């Protein structure tokens, strides 16, 4: 009965005092970690190893400038990026008012001119040649051939001597050209592969090459992503209805202010916590306490998520103004305790899931199919990131973690394991995700040192304390997910019994009121 459903929901929830306790533990841990990192940063600011990346900033203090990508976006070349994106927004707005049916064509023309201006006509010719090549292959409509051709083309930008030969097409001494070359080339090939694979799925005729050029030379996505699969871009860029939802512009403005606030906060924190420079000094790390070292590892991963969220968020605001629905920013690393949801680029993640992982893995219930799907997915990812020792280690451990989750889920779906406390195992899973992904952000020496301190040298005190704090975090996350699921998708109430003509019936207004009250009570 409905009452039983509500009681079961209440029993599934955690008591309020328990949630308050978990949140208090997390706040104390974060404050403690931040205090230690700030103290280490201030007391070692004049170390020789810090001179290359810790430079004069504001407030009379030095600033951590180790992340070249962040400095490029929000310090060194922010005027260039703002100028290019502002010009796109201006031309797009004028076109949307005067000739909305040609807006995707205007996007392409402006993108081509911007790429031509920044990289030269030889670079544009190189990109066009790759587009024409993969378009020609897509006309055959053989899926595996399109995929192999795309991967081979992508490999030419990751392996010598092909990289140096193609890089020679870019001329000039513009400081950003090296970054823009690899970004534009890599994303171009991934977009062309998406176009080719979608063309294979089309039953009637083929998409025109003009649609591919519109898709590829959309400037906000061209150099830095995110990747939007062709099927979604084609529908959204060619829709005729350009009316906005209620309060959509208000939400866009609010998001822009939030990102601006985050950028300012991060820049301020870089003056007090050198979270990116400290991991490069192994001698200094050996003198840190276990808690400071573990906290530093976690903060590094959180920062990388913030960077990805802000950079993709800024681009997404521009594309939303163009009436597109771009891939959302990545899920917060703090909310991740399963490998299946771990990603820092939702666009690449959606691309891999659509064309590789879900295509080969099916429903992801069969162990063998899942193993093949994950191996192929991480194989493509290795090629996308560029084969090297760190990337190979990262791919191996994440691939193992994803498959191990499936094996563990199957075991714990059976008795007597089904009644075990899953959050305990999610705690260890959380730190596996942190350590595995830390390989791609820092050195292997840093990851080895953190692992040794966390599991061996710091056992049992550090290990137990860190795992207990993480357990509190997992419980808070699960409680939040439970409440969101309960409100967004409440359990349906059982159907009312059939009315009997011989029995008296209630007034017609009573039944709906009872259902509404019960649903409201359940949601609360």
The two three-digit tokens of residue 514, written as one number: 């009872």
Give the model's confidence band at 74: pLDDT under 50 very low, under 70 low, under 90 confident, else very high.
confident
Beta strands 54-56 and 62-64, pairing class: antiparallel
CA dist 92 and 322 (Å) reads: 7
pLDDT for position 489? 66
**pLDDT > 90 in the chain, percent:** 26
Write down the domain spans for the chain. 1-73+249-335+421-488, 76-242
Q: For 301-359, write each residue's pLDDT tens digit.
A: 888 888 988 989 999 999 999 989 998 888 777 788 887 777 778 889 899 999 999 89
**C-beta pairs of 22-31 under 8 Å, 24+ apart in sequence:** 22/472, 22/473, 22/475, 22/476, 23/472, 23/476, 25/468, 25/469, 25/472, 26/469, 26/472, 26/473, 26/476, 29/295, 29/469
pTM of the model: 0.83
**pLDDT > 70 in the chain, percent:** 85
Give the model's confidence band at 151: pLDDT under 50 very low, under 70 low, under 90 confident, else very high.
very high
Give the model's confidence band at 3: pLDDT under 50 very low, under 70 low, under 90 confident, else very high.
very low
Q: Provide CB contacts within 8 A for 336, sequence distance 6+.
A: 342, 430, 433
Give the model's confidence band at 425: pLDDT under 50 very low, under 70 low, under 90 confident, else very high.
confident
- Average of per-residue pLDDT values in the chain: 81
Q: How far apart are the first and last CA of the chain?
A: 18
Higher pLDDT, 340 or 227: 227
Q: For 104-143, write each residue's pLDDT tens digit.
A: 899 999 999 999 988 888 889 999 999 999 999 999 999 9
Residue recorded with tokens 């940063």: 41
Average pLDDT over residues 45-67: 81
How does 40-69 read in b/e, with b if 16+ C-beta sit within 10 Å? bbeebeeeeebeebbeebeeeebbbbbbee
pLDDT for position 336? 81
pLDDT for position 230? 95
pLDDT for position 490? 63
Residue recorded with tokens 């993480």: 470
pLDDT for position 380? 94
CA dist 274 and 277 (Å) reads: 6
Q: For 235-259, write each residue's pLDDT tens digit.
A: 999 887 778 888 889 999 999 999 9
pLDDT for position 58? 81
CA dist 175 and 425 (Å) reads: 47
pLDDT for position 316? 92
pLDDT for position 159? 83
Q: Is the pLDDT of residue 294 over 70?
A: yes
Average pLDDT over residues 82-92: 89
Q: For 11-39, write each residue's pLDDT tens digit.
A: 344 555 566 666 677 677 777 777 777 77
The two three-digit tokens of residue 251, written as one number: 């939400």
Q: At how many degrees (to 10) do helices 230-237 and 177-201 cross?
A: 90
Nearest alpha-carbon partner for 345 in 358, 359, 362, 333: 333
pLDDT for position 521? 44
Which phi and psi (to 5°) does residue 276 adopt?
-95, -30
Which phi and psi (to 5°) does residue 415 adopt?
-75, 150
pLDDT for position 18? 62
Weakest mean pLDDT among 1-5, 228-232, 505-509: 1-5
pLDDT for position 51? 79
Q: For 435-452, write each residue's pLDDT tens digit.
A: 888 888 888 889 999 999
Strand ranges for 381-500 from DSSP E: none
With H, G, I as helix, E, B as strand and everything else as coil, classify residue 64. Answer: strand
Nearest alpha-carbon partner for 359 in 201, 507, 206, 244: 201
Please name every residue paired with 64 in a beta bridge, in sequence order, or none if there are none: 54
């Amino acid at each position: 009965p409905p009452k039983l459903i509500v009681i079961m929901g209440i029993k599934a929830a955690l008591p309020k005092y328990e949630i308050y306790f978990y949140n208090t533990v997390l706040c104390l841990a974060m404050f403690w970690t931040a205090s230690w990192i700030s103290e280490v940063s201030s007391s070692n600011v004049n170390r020789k190893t810090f001179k290359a990346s810790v430079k004069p900033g504001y407030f009379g203090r030095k600033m951590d400038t180790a992340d070249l990508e962040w400095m490029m976006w929000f310090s060194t070349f922010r005027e260039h990026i703002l100028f290019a994106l502002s010009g796109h927004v201006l031309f797009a707005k004028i076109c949307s008012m005067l000739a909305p049916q040609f807006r995707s064509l205007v996007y392409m023309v402006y993108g081509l001119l911007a790429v031509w201006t920044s990289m030269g006509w030889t670079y544009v010719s190189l990109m066009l040649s790759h587009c024409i090549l993969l378009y020609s292959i897509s006309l055959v409509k053989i899926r595996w051939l399109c995929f192999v051709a795309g991967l081979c083309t992508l490999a030419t930008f990751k392996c010598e001597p092909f990289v140096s030969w193609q890089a020679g097409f870019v001329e000039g001494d513009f400081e950003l050209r090296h970054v823009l070359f690899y970004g534009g080339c890599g994303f171009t090939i991934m977009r062309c592969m998406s176009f080719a694979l979608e063309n294979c799925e089309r039953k009637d005729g083929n998409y025109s090459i003009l649609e591919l050029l519109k898709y590829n030379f959309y400037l906000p996505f061209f150099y830095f992503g995110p990747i939007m699969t062709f099927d979604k871009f084609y529908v959204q860029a060619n829709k005729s209805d350009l009316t906005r939802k209620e309060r959509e512009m208000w939400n866009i403005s609010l998001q822009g202010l939030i990102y601006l606030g985050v950028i300012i906060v991060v820049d301020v924190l870089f003056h007090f916590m050198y979270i990116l420079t400290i991991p490069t000094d192994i001698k200094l790390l050996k003198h840190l306490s276990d808690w400071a070292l573990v906290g530093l590892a976690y903060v590094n991963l959180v920062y990388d998520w913030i960077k990805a969220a802000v950079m993709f968020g800024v681009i997404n605001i521009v594309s939303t103004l163009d009436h597109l629905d771009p891939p959302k920013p990545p899920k917060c690393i703090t909310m991740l305790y399963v490998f299946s949801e771990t990603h820092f680029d939702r666009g690449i993640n959606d691309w891999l899931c659509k064309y590789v992982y879900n295509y080969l893995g099916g429903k992801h219930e069969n162990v063998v199919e899942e193993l093949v799907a994950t191996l192929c997915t991480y194989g493509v990812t290795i090629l996308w990131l560029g084969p090297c020792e760190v990337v190979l280690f990262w791919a191996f451990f994440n691939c193992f973690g994803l498959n191990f989750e499936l094996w563990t889920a199957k075991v714990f779906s059976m008795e007597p394991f089904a009644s075990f406390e899953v959050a305990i195992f999610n705690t260890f899973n959380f730190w596996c995700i942190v350590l595995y992904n830390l390989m791609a952000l820092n050195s292997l020496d840093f990851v080895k040192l953190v692992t040794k301190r966390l599991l061996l040298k710091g056992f049992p005190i550090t290990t137990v304390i860190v795992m207990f704090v993480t357990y509190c975090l997992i419980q808070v996350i699960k409680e939040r997910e439970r409440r969101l699921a309960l409100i967004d998708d409440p359990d349906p109430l059982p159907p009312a019994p059939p009315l009997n003509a011989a029995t008296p019936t209630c007034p017609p207004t009573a039944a709906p009121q009872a259902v509404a009250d019960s649903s409201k009570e359940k949601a609360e």
